């Protein structure tokens, strides 16, 4: 059934059509479409996608199977002998250890990224190698909208300090990584190639655990697989990604399976991961409107609350020593929920001699006991601190936005009025041709929206406590 894919691909991307024809001719049992599918061209950043054909697809049906022998993975290095594969794996592990030894998820993830980075340019240059045509397709269609591949003129639109920090950190890290790779004896991979390769891998690799998107173990492997990498994202997907080992053929397959019934002509979607828009922007270059996993990093200034530091100090130290995720100065806030752990930690911080005298049982409390309110005074201190810091952050964000608007020329279709707030921008976003600029500004407006909603919530809590 790959013929319907080839036919539709010929209308939108000749290189993809040639790649699919190659699989049909040379590897018919390695890249399989079990259901009639079509390639769809979408406007803007979304690019290519897959839709079902003229027949419905039933829930739990297998839709696509792709052999890992046709994919690029961090599990094995295609077309390399054992000695070369071992040497490259050792280099990847040594470099990843330098940066992420204390974070096992990041450590194994970056080993995988590097092992695919080592394969991409070689596969592209040697027509005799297994993934040659696929690597060529990846580079010809590499994402220019992810931050590591932006041209520098986009920087002037970013009034989000956190986004600027993420982009600067990413560029510095990739620059250092390139130097480490060159020093390891792989001079082929220069900085521009590193940027392009990492952009491809991060934006096209499959996620088998969307509900735990940052979990990565020694047994995990990044996979960039043909055909499946065309499927776009949704938080309400109709498909899921699975892995399957075929013992008869002694081959492993990436499979796409229907979660529910899919109508004819309906787009196939998978969940790329329950991630914030910061992560989506940095990895994939797009944003989700009304993302339920959005977050904001709020730095709390305790300058006006230092008087509470020394009160019942020993008790606080004992409780904090039992807290696994202790963060006071830097907290996450969300648009649609309050962080119970953050509130619990602040309740401990604001404990006073008066509080423990009024309730001596507090001496036997564990961190879990602080998930509920201690008393009204303690709670008021917390919300007064958060309100003060949110108001300060909002003022800084709005001032930075105003400076951006005064000193930059907005692209066609984007007015200053549309940059007023998140709702205004989203209402006109479909008409803005320069999606990258629109997304950069949207990140800043999303931050303002999260801050504003938290400010309103905290003020309402304070009013209730004052009644």
Q: Check whether residue 387 and residue 339 sit in a common domain.
A: yes
Q: Check whether residue 372 and residue 449 sit in a common domain.
A: yes
Q: Check whether residue 416 and residue 349 sit in a common domain.
A: yes
Q: How confident is the model at residue 144 (pLDDT cuts 50, 70, 90)?
A: confident
Q: Check whether residue 314 and residue 359 sit in a common domain.
A: yes
User: Residue 325: is its pLDDT beyond 80?
Assistant: no
Residue 264 belongs to domain spanning: 1-71+225-285
For 420-465, what is each residue's pLDDT tens digit? 999 999 999 988 989 999 999 999 999 999 999 999 999 999 999 9
Tokens 């996979």, residue located: 223
User: Residue 256: is its pLDDT beyond 80?
Assistant: yes
- Radius of gyration of the chain from Cα atoms? 26
Q: Check whether residue 268 and residue 326 sit in a common domain.
A: no
Residue that finishes a domain, picked among 171, 204, 237:
204
Mean pLDDT of 218-242: 95
The closest of 27, 23, 78, 19 to 48, measured between CA atoms, is: 19
Residue 19 counted as domain residue: yes
Which pTM value belongs to this model?
0.93
Q: Check whether residue 36 and residue 137 sit in a common domain.
A: no
Q: How far is CA 28 from CA 2, 5, 181, in A?
A: 9, 14, 37
Residue 197 counted as domain residue: yes
> What pLDDT score does 69 carry?
93
Residue 219 counted as domain residue: no
Q: Check whether residue 316 and residue 373 sit in a common domain.
A: yes
User: Residue 53: is its pLDDT beyond 90?
Assistant: yes
Domains: count for the chain: 3
For 257-309, what is each residue's pLDDT tens digit? 999 999 999 999 999 999 999 999 999 999 999 999 999 999 999 988 888 88
Residue 290 counted as domain residue: no
Q: Check whether residue 274 and residue 332 sit in a common domain.
A: no
Q: How far apart are CA 40 and CA 267, in angstroms?
A: 8
Residue that finishes a domain, picked among 285, 314, 329:
285
Residue 214 counted as domain residue: no
Residue 216 counted as domain residue: no
Instruction: Tell me what the pLDDT averaged over the chain comes to.
Output: 93
> What pLDDT score does 160 carry?
95
> What pLDDT score does 303 carry?
87
Residue that finishes a domain, picked among 285, 308, 325:
285
Q: Check whether residue 281 and residue 404 sit in a common domain.
A: no
- For residue 41, the domain's CATH number is 2.170.270.10
For 4-31, what is each residue's pLDDT tens digit? 899 999 999 999 999 999 999 999 999 9
Q: Check whether residue 299 and residue 382 sit in a common domain.
A: yes
Q: Check whether residue 141 and residue 189 sit in a common domain.
A: yes
Residue 357 counted as domain residue: yes
Residue 308 counted as domain residue: yes
Q: How far apart are CA 297 and CA 37, in angstroms?
A: 42
Q: Check whether residue 436 and residue 301 sit in a common domain.
A: yes
Q: How far apart are CA 378 and CA 360, in angstroms?
A: 15
Cα angle, residue 370 at apex, residues 368 and 373 outer, rounded to 5°: 140
């Amino acid at each position: 059934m790959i013929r319907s894919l080839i036919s539709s691909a010929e209308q939108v991307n000749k290189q993809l059509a040639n790649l699919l024809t190659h699989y049909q001719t040379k590897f018919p049992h390695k890249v399989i479409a079990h259901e009639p599918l079509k390639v769809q061209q979408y406007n803007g950043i979304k690019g290519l996608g897959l839709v079902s054909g003229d027949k419905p697809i039933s829930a739990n049906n297998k839709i696509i199977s792709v052999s890992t022998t046709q994919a690029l993975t961090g599990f094995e290095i295609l077309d390399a002998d054992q000695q070369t594969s071992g040497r490259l794996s050792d280099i990847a592990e040594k470099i990843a250890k330098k940066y992420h030894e204390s974070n096992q998820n990041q450590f194994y993830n970056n080993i995988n990224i590097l092992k695919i980075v080592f394969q991409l340019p070689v596969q592209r240059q040697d027509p005799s190698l297994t993934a040659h045509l696929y690597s060529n397709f990846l580079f010809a269609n590499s994402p220019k909208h992810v931050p590591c591949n932006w041209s520098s003129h986009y920087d002037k639109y970013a009034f989000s300090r956190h986004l600027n920090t993420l982009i600067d950190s990413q560029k510095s890290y990739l620059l250092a990584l390139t130097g480490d790779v060159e020093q390891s004896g792989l001079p082929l991979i220069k900085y521009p190639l590193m940027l392009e390769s990492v952009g491809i891998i991060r934006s096209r690799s499959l996620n088998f655990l969307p509900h735990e998107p940052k979990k990565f173990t020694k047994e995990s492997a990044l996979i960039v697989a043909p055909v499946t990498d065309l499927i776009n994202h949704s938080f309400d997907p109709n498909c899921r990604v699975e892995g399957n080992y075929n013992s008869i053929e002694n081959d492993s397959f990436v499979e796409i399976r229907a979660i529910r019934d899919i109508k004819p002509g309906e787009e196939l979607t998978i969940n790329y991961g329950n991630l914030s828009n910061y992560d989506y922007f940095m990895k994939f270059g797009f944003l989700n409107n009304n993302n339920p996993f959005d977050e904001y990093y709020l730095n709390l200034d305790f300058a006006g609350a230092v008087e509470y530091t020394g009160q019942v100090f020993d008790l606080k130290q004992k409780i904090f020593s039992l807290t696994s995720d202790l963060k006071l100065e830097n907290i996450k806030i969300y648009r649609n929920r309050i962080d119970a752990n953050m509130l619990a930690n602040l309740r401990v911080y604001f404990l006073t001699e008066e509080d423990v005298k009024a309730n001596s049982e507090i001496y036997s409390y564990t961190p879990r006991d602080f998930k509920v309110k201690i008393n009204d005074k303690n709670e008021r201190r917390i919300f007064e601190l958060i309100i003060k810091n949110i108001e300060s952050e909002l003022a800084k964000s709005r001032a930075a936005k105003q400076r951006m608007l005064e000193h930059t020329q907005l692209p066609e279709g984007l007015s200053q009025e549309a940059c007023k707030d998140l709702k205004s921008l989203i209402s006109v976003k479909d008409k803005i041709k320069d999606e990258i600029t629109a997304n950069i500004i949207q990140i800043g407006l999303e931050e303002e929206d999260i801050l504003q909603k938290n400010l309103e919530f905290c003020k309402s809590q304070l009013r209730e406590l004052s009644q």
